Amino acid sequence: MNYGAGQFCFSVVTSTDGTPASVGNGVHVAFEAGDRPMIDAFYRPALNCDGTEDGQPGLRPEYNTNYYGVFVFDPDGNKIEAVTYSARK
C-alpha cells in the first residue's frame, strides 16, 4: 500500500538477539523524511514526549553515504527512527 509520494516499505524480521519479538525487542518503526532539518525537528519533540535517545541525529555512512537519521525509544520501549537519504541540509 502506498499513500502520497514516495515509497512504502514494510518488513517483518527476527529480533537481533534471536529471542521472540516483544516490546522494545524486534519492534522498529522508521519514517522517511524529505530532508535533514525534518529529522532534527522530529528529535526534540520525541524526547519531550517521554521518548529516550538511542542515537542523536546525524550521518550514518555505514548504511548509505547520505543516510541521516535519528533513533528514539517511545515510552513503551519501541524503537522509532526518522531517516532521510537526501543530501539537502
State the chain's mean pLDDT as an integer.
Answer: 83
- Residue, of 1 and 11, whose pLDDT is higher: 11
Cell, residue 82: 526518522
Instruction: Quote the CATH superfamily of domain 28-84.
Output: 2,3-Dihydroxybiphenyl 1,2-Dioxygenase, domain 1 (3.10.180.10)
Q: Characterize the bridge pairing of strands 68-73 and 58-59.
A: antiparallel
Count of CB atoms within 10 A of residue 78's CB? 16
Q: Which helix (H) or strand (E) element contains residue 84?
A: strand 79-84
Amino acid identity at 34? G
Say which residues have a Cβ less than 8 Å from residue 89's Cβ, sequence separation at least 6: 35, 36, 37
> Per-domain residue ranges for the chain?
28-84
* Per-residue model confidence as pLDDT tens digits over 11-38: 666 777 888 777 767 677 888 889 999 9
pTM score of the predicted model? 0.75
Over pLDDT 90: what percentage of the chain? 47
* Helix ranges restricted to H, 14-80: 36-48
Measured distance CA(13)–CA(18) in Å, rounded: 10
